[in-house]
Structures are given as C-alpha cells and as structure tokens.
Amino acid sequence: MWRRSAGPRGLLVLLVCTWAVSWPAIKVGVAHVPPLWFASLRYAIAASCLGVVVVARGALVLPGRGDWKLIAVSATLQMGAYSALTGVALTVMSPGRASVLAFSTPIWVVPLSAWWLGEALPRAGLVGVALGLAGVLAIAAPSFGSGGGDFAVACGLLLLAAAAWAMSIVYVRGHRFGASALALAPWQMALAALLLLPLAALLEGPLPAIDRPGVAALAYVGPVATAFAYWAVVEAGRHVRASTMSMALLATPCLGLAISAWAFDEPVGAALLLGMALIGAGIRLATRPIDRQADRTSRSAG
C-alpha cells in the first residue's frame, strides 16, 4: 500500500523529517522529565506501539538464543546508552548542534569494523574519519577557549552516544538473524526500557508528575520518532539503495539545525557550519565502501 501511494523515497523523506523534529522534541521533553526517565518511558511506549504492529502483521516471534545476543547489544548500546547520553547532553546543549555531533555515528563504524570484523580500512575511510574528527573539533573547540565546561561534557556525551550506536551497527553486521529485524525490534525496545528504569530511579529519584509539555514530547518521540521511525528504516531499506539511504539521512542534522535555529533561536555560526560540512563529508567518504558492498548484495539478491 505504501509503495503505491507515496513510494519508498517518500517514506525516506518522511523519516528524515521525523528524526529532525525529534531533536527539538527531546529537548523539550528533558526540560520537563528527567532525561533517564524520559528515555525509559520513550522505549516503553515505542515497544508497545511497535508490538501492536508486529502482532497485527502476524510476525510476533519468541527470539532464539542467537537473536537474544543481538537484542541485548542493541538494547544496551543503540537504544539505552544512546538515548540516555543524548538526553543528558540535551539538558545543556541546543538540539541542532547536538544532532550534528550525534549523527557522526557512521564515521566511527569504519575503524570499529576494521578492528572488530577484520575489514579492510580503505583510504577513503581513513580520510573520512579524519574529516569527521576535524568537524567535531570545529564544533567543540570554541567551548574550550571560553571555559564552557558543561558544553564540553555534553560534546563528550554525544560522541560516546555516537560510538555506542556504531558498536551496535558493527555487531549487527556480523550477526546472523534468526528472525526479521522488525520482529525483534519490540523486544529490543522493551529491554532498553527495563535497563533504563532502575538507572533512572537510582540516579534521578522517583518519577515526578509529568506536565503537558512532557506528555506532548513523549507522545511524539515514543510512537512517532522511535516506533514509526524504526519501521520506516526497515521498510525503506528494503527498496532504496544503501547509497541513497546514507545520503538522505545526512539531511537529518541539517534539517534539525534549521528547526532548532527557528524554534530555539539557536545561533548558527561559522564554526558550526564548518563542523557540519566536515562531518557530512567525512560520513560520505567513510560510508562509500559500505554502500558499494550493500548495493552489490542488493543487486545480486534481486
């Protein structure tokens, strides 16, 4: 039905818009709900929503032993650690700048793949990593000169979040799936919520009463920016070339920055624009060998 109405590329555009809006939404959310509680509730809501979808499609399965390893890694790193670290960082940093740093994930996949999976480290990948690091420094450097300690910590948390997601990506690339990615997603999200729950209670105390802005943020981030977005990634990835996917997703932090500048009066200076350009160029170079391999695999499978 989706292909007939709008097509996978339309879904990809909607996905980019959804993720771009999610950064300001999370910024609002963690201003009204403690960030670890927000992350835990986000995945509890998303697991429920996506679980309904999986059940409706008749795809609900009990994961096998091998898939439980994937669920544990993804729930801990890609979902739990990433959302917790970005949520804490957003209590300090504006959402546009934060999205640029957090979306540096593909840059870290290259050295991790070489170390963990024994993949070749192409020259383009090395140049991409170098450009990405230069972009990160361009964004973070002004804070060091002005004594912005909290901002520097937020930068570090976002880079740790990007690295956590990269580790999950590398693990997934070496995993043999027993069930589909969509069928496993509700289990991953439910486990992420359960892992974050005691951490939130320990570090942030009991869950406070949630006011309307907090409820609104959760109502968007849980069902739309998490459950729908995960389905959209899986669905679009079935029909869109890997190179097209990676290039389109590069638009997410750019759009997120524009929305943040409009909604939060976030200043967009030369250092931020330079850093964004360098990180974008680094991601493109770093992902080019991966895209070629994925495209070849897709064509041979078709």
Total of domains in the chain: 1
Our CA angle for 245, 24, 270, nearest 5°, is: 75
Query: What distance, in Å, lies between the first and last C-alpha atoms of the chain?
Result: 21
Q: 139, 145, 144: which is closest to 97 by C-alpha?
A: 139
Q: What is the pTM of this model?
A: 0.83
Tokens, residue 140 = 């973070």
Tell me which residues of the chain have a pLDDT lower than 50. Answer: 1-5, 147, 294-302
Three-state SS for 148? coil
Range of the domain at 193: 2-301
pLDDT tens digits, 179-194: 888 889 999 999 999 9
Please tell me the predicted confidence (pLDDT) of residue 299: 42
pLDDT tens digits, 196-248: 999 999 999 999 999 999 999 999 999 999 999 888 887 776 676 655 666 66
